[in-house]
Structure 1
Amino acid sequence: MPSFDVSSVGFYVLDILGRPVSRIPEGGRADYIEEIRMTVAGTAGATGMDCAILGLKTQAVTTLGTDDMGDWFVAKLQKYGLDCGLVRRDGSVQTSSTILPVRPNGERPALHVPGTATVFRVADEDLDAALDATVVHVGGTGLLKSFDGEPTVRLLKRAKELGRTTTFDLIQATPETIAFVEPCLPYIDYFVPSIDEASEMAHEADPAKVAAYFKSKGVRNCLLTLGGEGVYVAPENGKPFHLPAFDIEVVDTTGCGDSFTAGIIVGIVRGWDLERSARFASAVAAKVAMGLGSDGKLVSFDDTIAAMNSLPVKAPARTSAHA
């Protein structure tokens, strides 16, 4: 029996967010905004944090700097209840960090320092401990310079040898990113990218065609997040389906995809079917989008279940995705 429900491996970044930002003031002038926050973020960091908020026993596997930002980060992870035994510290670079001026409509351009994401690796002696979980989530391919490619494939292959369930997401994907991703695909049980990033790699725009492309490469279940249009799911068994997004007032879209993945992981651990898992994951993302940062208004499993059962649902728009 694994020690953890989920091991969240890869890209952890400190986000500094402010809202609402409609312009950058000229020269040395100042504008006044409503809110500034620092949050745990990243395709592995936010997913792991949200898993912990939702009640899963979670371990963090990453590298942070020996700077003040790294100290804050570890303290914050521990406050959420994550095990940090496999959080390594590296003084050669600063902790990965991003400044996000969040626009009034929730969009967020980014100013990013890659930092520790570029030096992260899972050491040989840490590999089996990093995989000591029911679900192994790998997040951040595309920005993990030292881990992308063969080291990621090796970890995922070993996870499957140990009988783990694997989930996978990436970040800032370009057409070139497929070179790192394709060798991983046969070892991925749940592939959860955004439609924009998946389309870049598949050279297709239609969600059904994008999902079919990745399944043809070995992915068992492909879940494409469509932003305000919901999610398209192509399961290993059964017919593909589309779920519309919840109809909410969006404050900030930071971390919505990461939180959706956390919701899927909760469903896997609880043994739910994929449709129920995707509905719950959509509610998790909605709670995050209602506040600032990668946790937003996410507070607990029970509160999210209540949201899933009470929030209004948008009318679906992507009719081509329903086939």
Structure 2
Amino acid sequence: MTTFDVSCVGFAVLDILGRPVTAIPEGGRADFIEEIRMTVAGTAAATAMDCAILGLRTRMVSSVGNDDIGDFLISKMQSYGMDTAMMSRDPGNQTSSTILPVRPNGERPALHVRGSATTFTLVPEQYADALDAKIVHLGGTGLLWAFDGQPSVNFLKAAKAAGRTTTFDLIQANPETVEKVLPLLPYIDYFIPSIEEAEEMAGTSGPEATARWFRERGVRNAILTLGGDGVYADPEDGVPFTLPAHDIEVVDTTGCGDSFTAGIIIGLSKGWDLRRCARFASAVAAQVAMGLGSDGKLGSFEDTLHAMETLPLKELTDA
């Protein structure tokens, strides 16, 4: 019996977002925008936050600096009901942070300080507490310098030995990232990257070939987010399928992939099949995209179920 529904391990960052930004003012001049927010973010922390909002007992496992930003992140996590007992402090680095000037179409270039994410790691003596959940999510490979590579392999191997369901996402993937990811693949039950990152690593083109590439190397279920084109899934059981995205007015795409992962985790925790998990995850991501930051307009589990059934869908493309 586990204490938590999900344990999210890895990348945690503070996002400072402003919208809409069309240009950076010249010199020392000022411009005026509609909205600024600070949010919990990161491939592990944003997923954890959205899981907590949607009702799961959630543990967050990461590192922040011994600074005001770290204080804010931990306090904000706790306000969502997240367990932060395994949030460590790194006095030698500031908390990982990003400034995001969000464009009118929802795109967001980033200015990032790597900070405390680079020194986060776990030792075997900490595994039992970090694995005290039915589902274990590892997020942020690529920016977790101390935890990438063999430490992540050891951790996911321990997760599978303990009988946990594992989900995985990474960040800022490129062709070099694949060397860090390949040894992890046999221990990943649900691999949930964006199509762009997955293609970069696999050197393939198109969701079918890309998902197949990862499945052939050990991933049990490959789920590729396609942005406005929806999602493509190549499951361990059953045939591959594509689902369309919801037809919404996009405010900000920050955290959409992380929130999609949270939706998959919610569905898995309820024993749904993968198609229903992906439908729910698409509704989670749509609600996030309709607001600013990694939680956007995300509401309760019941609200999200309603959104899944009522938000309009785009026409399915050939993507």
- Equivalences for residues 6-155 of structure 1 within 5 A: 6-155=6-155
Offset, 1:123 = 2.6
3-state SS of paired residue (2:177): helix
- Equivalences for residues 131-210 of structure 1 within 5 A: 131-210=131-210
- Counterpart-to-counterpart distance in 2, 1:66 and 1:315: 48
CA RMSD, 1 decimal: 0.5
Offset, 1:237 = 1.0
- Counterpart-to-counterpart distance in 1, 2:251 and 2:221: 30
Match of 2:254 in 1: 254
Match of 2:307 in 1: 307
Amino-acid identity (%): 68
Match of 1:268 in 2: 268
3-state SS of paired residue (1:106): coil
- Counterpart-to-counterpart distance in 1, 2:209 and 2:124: 38
Amino acid at match of 1:313: L
Offset, 1:135 = 0.2
Offset, 1:125 = 2.0
Amino acid at match of 1:2: T
1:10-64 superposed Cα distances (whole Å, 9 cap, x missing partner): 0000000000000000000011000000000000010000000000000000000
- How many residue pairs match? The answer is 319
- Equivalences for residues 226-305 of structure 1 within 5 A: 226-305=226-305
Runs of 5+ consecutive residues of structure 2 not aligned to the other structure:
none
Amino acid at match of 2:71: D
Offset, 1:316 = 1.2
- Counterpart-to-counterpart distance in 2, 1:303 and 1:76: 22
Runs of 5+ consecutive residues of structure 1 not aligned to the other structure:
none
TM-score, with length taken from structure 1:
0.98
- Counterpart-to-counterpart distance in 2, 1:139 and 1:268: 17
TM-score, with length taken from structure 2:
0.99
- Counterpart-to-counterpart distance in 2, 1:123 and 1:104: 44
Amino acid at match of 1:165: T
3-state SS of paired residue (1:267): helix
- Counterpart-to-counterpart distance in 2, 1:124 and 1:64: 20
- Counterpart-to-counterpart distance in 1, 2:247 and 2:119: 40
- Counterpart-to-counterpart distance in 2, 1:78 and 1:161: 30
1:53-109 superposed Cα distances (whole Å, 9 cap, x missing partner): 000000000000110000000000000000001000111000000000000000000
3-state SS of paired residue (1:176): coil
Q: Hey, which bits of structure 1, 4+ residues long, moved more than 3 A?
A: none
